[in-house]
Amino acid sequence: MLHILIYFIFFRDQILEMFDHAYNSYMDYAYPADELMPLSCRGRVRGLEPNRGDIDDSLGKFSLTLIDTLDTLVLLNKLDEFEEAVKKTVRDVRFDNDIVVSVFETNIRVLGGLLGAHVMADVLKQRGERMQWYRDELLHMAKELGFRLLPAFNTTSGLPYPRVNLRYGVVNPLSRTGTESDTCTACAGTMILEFAALSRLSGDPIFEENARKAMDVLWEKRQRGSDLVGTVINIHNGDWVRRDSGVGAGIDSYYEYLMKAYILLGDKVYLNRFNTHYSAIMKYISQPPLLLNVHMHNPTVNVRSWMDSLLAFFPGLQVLRGDLKPAIETHEMLYQVTKQHNFLPEAFTTEFRVHWGQHPLRPEFAESTYFLYKATGDPYYLKVGQSIVEKLNTHARVPCGFAAVQDVRTGTHEDRMDSFFLAEMFKYLYLLFSEKSQLPINIDDYIFTTEAHLLPVSLSTTQPPCHTNNTEPQAHEDDLFSYSCPSAQTLFPNNPTFAKTIRDSYKYLTGVGRAQQASSVRGIELPLHDTGLEPVEFLKSMGISLTPLTELVSASQGSAFQDSQKGVYKLKLVAEVSHTPEHEEVVPLIVQLISPPFLGQTVFTAGPAKFGTDLTKQQHGVKGSIMKSVPYTACGPIENAVELQGHIALALRGDCMFAAKARRLQEAGATGVIFIDHREGSSSADTPLFQMVGDGEPTDDITVPLAFLFSKEGATLTAALEEHHNVDVLLLPKEKQLGKEKPEKLNIKFRLAKEGELAEGETESTTIQLVLEQSETDTETNNEAASLMRENQETCSSLQKDPESSP
């Protein structure tokens, strides 16, 4: 007994130390920014860092990480820090920001964070020891935020828009959103806990009503044959846009919120719906120990052969449901995967190979581990928790916090520490190693939201301000045994070997020599969406377009095949980046900055495109001054077409295909396009070059020159543009780089400026002058190019001496 106590204390202390390291790093280096960039030791401010696409929709300039962490501070007994952090939140955080955010992420992280913290503040205040100054400020903030999210629900169906502008809503022309037609199931179905809590705590029914309506639509739209839902739904007409159905990315927390809405709100309608879906999941998706995506209309067909890490929450939900056997099986499978790769990769195949190696410090596996330990009391799960702690310290800890892992195979880091790491990971780990009596609150009085914010189950006795529910007939009455959470007592009272017996059959799961059954349909393996969604747009941003089977089959296969696969979507993969086969060489390009003060000295290696002007055939390359496209991704109408005329456009990769961007920019009058990678930290120094290919359609209409820069080079180029306003570049094949391949033909000399030569206003520091000299043997190419540089040089005869710009 004593040694288990010591063991607990040891790990709790270690977890507290790790939390302090992560939280203090955020507060010291990043606050009031939304997130910490743990490798750069600074805050991530949206708009100031390269755009990462949809992931950035979590960032609303509202100190996201601080708010997401508030109730963790209480649970970890850091009550002074909590009081201080609440004061900061009230003093510093504002929501009237002209910024487009994800409705789902803002709800679970910020609204949930404020509500959880309000509840904690209230509890502490009631105890009379601290927070005596507190006057429900966090609840008022939550209500204000709730009203800012509400415009998203203004659709004919009642399903919310995926994004909202915090200041302008969705219909206002200034909102820069409101044109989306679909959303993911989890995005629409993960509002009810926070919105109902807000309604019941504030007395305004409008929030719960809207969230409930969205839940009702999803339920109505379930596939009646299979009782499954799809992954993406049209928010206007409720049609399914993606019909693959699983328990991970895109759907996960919809199921979680049905179960938890019942626990929080005491309304059996939610439980009945959950139980109906759960039976379907167990019939089709659960293929123990695997959880595989199937087609909602044809659920005996698997649609892919990989799983995503988000589904790791599911064993925890099964514990709440009281279904421990499959929970233990799936959790064990996940544990075996973490043993192989240190962390759960974002996606892994049914053979447990890495499919997508990223690991953004997700908490789902720790969450399930905690629930299983509480349900079974089996110390095995403490060992699992111990391994999570150790791996985080060994493989993710950096001097300024904890860094996401870019690829579990190489262990490389990414400059991000998502707010859920503080909101969720530390709660579950700390709880795992804590006795209930050691916690500052009675944990059984609360339910965890999907972001692990704490909402009091006592809300179930607070009727919603306007009572409109309980209209649905009771279904599956005989299936309602599983009210309790968890129900370990009834399932295996005092049988400590129960879990072990189940786990033992999965002991060699990932080991060699054990054939895994291949799934009946080997899905095309696609990367996952980072925020837990998998919208087609994201796949497009990776250069992948999807075509329904019907089109594909009728074009190529004939009707027999079509019939046998009726209703199944098959994916046509059009990768717009090609890692060129060996026999075909990628001809590297360069983007050379030729206007002052660069004068040809700054050169970036760039990737070519298989379409557009063939730069290898351009004797002298193509010159132009650069300008950013608006929108930067060039996936919508070009708003700055007038200014772009005659310029080489800069466009961010992502959201739509390269070819679509190029067409749009060419039409707007751009004379060329430089695409800039949206994957943070990529550079030509460590990423192999590829060439961009078209979108599967003819691309003859695209005639402007195109080049691709990785994000590090892209960031330098855009920084140059911001600083100097006019930046001329030359696009040409690397082999024709001016002054590189034939250095003897272009002499660049520096001479010290003599006293008295300084132009008016220049400081009296040493200056150097750049002189271009041509040898008589210069080729025509260099003649031309050198004259381009000379043209630019004329406007800048002297340079401040700067070791960076010296050769």
Binding-site residues for Ca(2+): 450
Options 308, 329, 364, 655, the catalytic residue: 364
Helix (DSSP H) and strand (DSSP E) numbers for the chain: 26, 33
- Measured from the CB atom, the residue of 223 and 309 that comes closer to ligand DMJ is 309
CA distance to 590, 592, 725, 742, 780, per residue, from 770 (Å): 22, 17, 22, 19, 22
Of positions 335, 352, 373, 420, contacts ligand DMJ by CB under 6 A: 420
Task: Tell me the DSSP string of 560-607.
Answer: HHHHHTTT--------SEE---TTS----EEEEE-STTTTT-EEEEEB
Token output for 206: 């409008």
Partner residues linked to 398 by β-bridges: 401
Of positions 253, 406, 565, 592, contacts ligand DMJ by CB under 6 A: 253
Which residues in 38-191 belong to E strands, given as ranges?
42-44, 100-102, 163-165, 182-184
Options 34, 57, 182, 252, the catalytic residue: 252
Count residues near ligand DMJ (CB under 6 A): 10
Q: Does residue 472 have an active-site annotation?
A: no
Options 35, 49, 346, 367, the catalytic residue: 346
CA distance to 344, 345, 371, per residue, from 407 (Å): 10, 8, 28
CB of 252 to ligand DMJ, least distance (A): 6
CB of 189 to ligand DMJ, least distance (A): 11
- Measured from the CB atom, the residue of 227 and 451 that comes closer to ligand DMJ is 451
Annotated binding site: 450
Task: Give the span between the Cα atoms of 153 and 592, in whole angstroms.
Answer: 48
Q: Does residue 351 have an active-site annotation?
A: no
CB of 312 to ligand DMJ, least distance (A): 9
Q: Does residue 778 have an active-site annotation?
A: no
Of positions 107, 450, 510, 737, contacts ligand DMJ by CB under 6 A: 450
DSSP-based three-state secondary structure for 749: strand
- Measured from the CB atom, the residue of 532 and 681 that comes closer to ligand DMJ is 532
Q: In sequence order, which residues have a C-beta less than 8 Å from that of residue 401 and are 6 or more positions away?
A: 21, 22, 25, 26, 29, 36, 38, 417
83-112 residues in contact with ligand DMJ (CB under 6 A) are 108
142-201 residues in contact with ligand DMJ (CB under 6 A) are none
CB of 451 to ligand DMJ, least distance (A): 5
Burial 474-498 (b: 16+ CB within 10 A, else e): eeeeeeeebeebbbbeebbeeeeeb
CB of 708 to ligand DMJ, least distance (A): 31
CB of 506 to ligand DMJ, least distance (A): 24
- Measured from the CB atom, the residue of 107 and 602 that comes closer to ligand DMJ is 107
Q: In sequence order, which residues have a C-beta less than 8 Å from that of residue 200 and are 6 or more positions away?
A: 208, 459, 462, 463, 464, 465
Pick the piece of the chain touching ligand DMJ (CB under 6 A) from 360-368, 455-463, 657-665, 753-761. 360-368
Of positions 532, 624, 631, 739, contacts ligand DMJ by CB under 6 A: 532
CB of 423 to ligand DMJ, least distance (A): 7
Q: What is the dihedral of CA 209, 213, 215, 217, to 10 degrees?
A: 180
Which residues in 491-546 belong to E strands, given as ranges?
none
- Measured from the CB atom, the residue of 329 and 424 that comes closer to ligand DMJ is 424
Enumerate the H helices of 464-574 as residue ranges. Answer: 488-491, 498-504, 536-541, 549-556, 559-564
- Measured from the CB atom, the residue of 363 and 681 that comes closer to ligand DMJ is 363
503 touches ligand DMJ by CB under 6 A: no
Q: Does residue 364 have an active-site annotation?
A: yes
Mask of contacts with ligand DMJ, 361-390, x by CB under 6 A? -xxx--------------------------
CA distance to 95, 151, 184, 679, per residue, from 148 (Å): 8, 7, 20, 30
Active-site amino acid positions? 105, 252, 346, 364
* Residues lying near ligand DMJ in the complex (CB under 6 A): 108, 253, 310, 362-364, 420, 450-451, 532
